[in-house]
Structure 1
Amino acid sequence: MSGGPAAPLDAAAGAGTRDWRTPLEILVLGAIWGGSFLFMRVAAPAFGPYALVELRLALGALVLLPFLWLARTQFPLRLWPRLAVIGIINSALPFLLFAWAAQRAPAAIGAICNAMTVLFAALVAFLAFGEKIGVRRALALLTGFAGVVVLATAKVSGLTLGPAVLAGASASLLYGIGLNLVKRYMVGLPPAASAAVTLGCSALLLLPLAITHWPAGPVPALAWAAAVGLGVLCTGLAFIYFYGLIHRIGAARTSTVTYLVPLFGALFAWLLLGEAVTGKMLLAGVLILGSVAISQRAR
């Protein structure tokens, strides 16, 4: 970081430390984001999707607000409409879809669908921006979509998971679109400050719906705790942690957290909520995560 001759020596001296730190930090991030599906499963029935997502967006933006304040000169007003649109696509709508799904299906369903983001990002880059996709990544997409079909036909306690899977897959598609928009239209902007803008704008735009759909009765303390954890830990602090990892070890290595989110989502739901993981859910998870691995290897 110093930029002087001593920098390579410092990096070499710290290599042993980073060797064990990096897997641990990726594991922690996977646990945090896997926990977000547990929090949604607990809080969504009490709050409903609109109120819950409003809390998530607002709390996440508040955590990131100091970064925006420090970088405020880099965000002239002409940028804000563009960032607001990206925020709706990359935050508000996916959060709403995942919260809606959490009311209707086990937490593992959303966590498994979330892994499709990597594949959808490649598909959107190919269809909308002309990036090459290659045979291996095309095979990965087909495998991943097969996993979604398997998941959509599964049943838990006699209930069909199709609508929740469709919502989760749609959320991942929006994430894929959002990643491409961020890559092309937010280059050079500080990431944490940009996230504060996109989350904050999304919170303001969603506020009228959150007010009109606010829970009529008292909300249990456990649901409030889950909502706060979702906004502060899984959104605001997780963004800071995520961007710090990218800065330190690079985007490619950080992206391996994709494999851990479904595992932790299913594990937490099983341990803490007693939600079963069926054979079809396991098969779908293997297909989707396997397809992500193929896609990452191809890249």
Structure 2
Amino acid sequence: MKWASETITPGQITLLRVLFGFLPVLAYAAARGVLRWRHARHLHHFLVMSVLATSAYYFAFAAGTALLPSGIAGALSGAIPLFSFLAAALLLRSDRVTPVRLLGVLVGFGGVLLIARPWSATGAVDPVGVAYMLLGSASVGLSFVYAKRFLSGLGIAAAALTTYQIGLALVTLLLVTDLDGVTDVAADTRALVGVVIGLGLLGTGVAYILYYVIVDLLGAVTASSATYIPPVVALAIGWLLVGEPLDLLDGVAVLLILVGVAVLRSAAGRPSPGGSGRAGT
């Protein structure tokens, strides 16, 4: 995203990511035989998910990454579970706010504040870029709650849901994205390969497929632990490979975000008083 932002717009980056991510997801869903015409009666839900979990989410991250060091942008993506918890607490009666969960949110957002550093006069971190990253995190966080409330009981395979979601996002992005200059990304082989293969085919399409495999093999709770990995990897790559500066506060900030998420995961797995004792997901 960072390399591509030097030649094309965030909207164009989002369109290319969705296009090349859709192809392997569609092929996988077709191979599994999970696509059904009768699913079309839930089109309105798929459309909402296409905005929350694809179009708005990817666009906000592309716009934020264009304004921030890639490592910082990646670290901020770790806030997704925090927004998911907040949305669930506000919109789902089954998800109660407990002191432990509240502590997890506060610790996590403490990490976000350390990265953004709104008190700093140096302007090292663009607040608009931070706002975009948080908007994208909030969008996908809300999508989890929407999916739980309106889609989880429909009995539609995850591979099919994702195919409909990304496919509809592709259609809407084609309608609203200005394509003028989109081919300029081809002038930078590094950016072209990064967007088409790294961000699209692998980072979107294959990543979804691998997630389905991990869920089948290890279960949803263990698979969700993958959210711990991207912030650390992004910060490390930005520092080691791209040459972006990294200071002690950045490391502490990522640690706080991950600790906040870990506390939320731990609290979600505890049986509620008087409940059935089953771990939450």
Same fold (TM over 0.5): yes
Mark the runs of 5 or more structure 2 residues left unpaired by the alignment: 269-281
| Secondary structure of the corresponding residue to residue 148 of structure 1 | helix
Cα distance change, pair 79–162 in 1 and its aligned pair in 2 (3 A): same
Secondary structure of residue in 2 paired with 1:71: coil
Match of 2:276 in 1: none
Aligned residue in 1 for 2:177: 210
Q: Gaps spanning 5+ residues in structure 1: where?
A: 1-39
User: Per-residue CA shift, 1:63-115, capped at 9, x if unaligned?
Assistant: 11124432222653222222011111111111111101111111122221111
Q: What displacement does 1:212 show?
A: 4.2
Q: Partner of 1:176: helix, strand, or coil?
A: helix
Cα–Cα, structure 1 residues 236 and 138, in superposed 2: closer, same or farther, change >3 Å? same
Q: Which amino acid aligns with 1:80?
A: L
| Structure 1 Cα separation of the partners of residues 242 and 113 of structure 2 | 25
In structure 2, what residue type is equivalent to 1:98? Answer: F
Worse-matched range after superposition: 113-122 or 150-159: 150-159
Structure-2 residue corresponding to 1:60: 21
Assess if the C-alpha contact under 8 Å between 2:2 and 2:70 holds in 1. Answer: yes
User: In structure 2, how many angstroms separate the alpha carbons of the residues matched to 1:113 and 1:75?
Assistant: 39
Alpha-carbon deviation of 1:142?
1.2
User: Cα–Cα, structure 1 residues 250 and 206, in superposed 2: closer, same or farther, change >3 Å?
Assistant: same
Partner letter of residue 174 of structure 1?
Answer: S
Does the CA contact (< 8 Å) of 2:17 and 2:195 recur in 1? yes
TM-score norm. by structure 1 comes to: 0.81
* Counterpart code for 2:149: R
Determine whether 1:267 maps to 2:231.
Answer: no
Among 124, 132, 149, the residue aligned to 1:184: 149
1-structure distance, mates of 2:126, 2:39 = 44
The structure in which a higher percent of residues are helix is 1
Contact 2:79 2:257 in 1 (8 A): yes
In 1: Cα distance, 2:61 partner to 2:82 partner: 18
Q: Check whether the contact 1:48–1:213 (CA below 8 A) recurs between aligned residues.
A: no
Q: State the Cα distance separating 1:213 from its structure 2 match.
A: 5.0
1:145 and 1:288 in contact (8 A); partners too: yes
Q: How does 1:22-37 map to 2 (within 5 A)?
A: none
Q: Which residue of 2 aligns with 1:175?
A: 140
Superposed structure 1 runs of 4+ greater than 4 Å apart: 154-158
- Out of 126, 129, 143, the position equivalent to 1:164 is 129
Q: Within 2, Cα distance between the matches of 1:213 and 1:98?
A: 21
Q: Take 2:170 and 2:41, find their aligned partners in 1: how far apart are those partners?
A: 19
The answer as to 2:13 corresponding to 1:48 is no
Structure 1, residues 144-165: CA drift from partner, whole Å, max 9, x if none? Answer: 1222122111779853332211
In the superposition, the TM-score normalised over structure 2's length comes to: 0.86
The answer (yes or no) to whether the contact 2:34–2:159 under 8 Å persists in 1 is: no
Is the 1:153–1:161 contact (alpha carbons within 8 Å) kept by the matching residues of 2? no
Distance 2:243 2:121 in 1: 12
RMSD between aligned alpha carbons? Answer: 2.0
> 1: distance between equivalents of 2:146 and 2:181?
31
How many residues align? The count is 260
Match of 1:222 among 190, 200, 210: 190
The percent identity for this pair of structures is 26
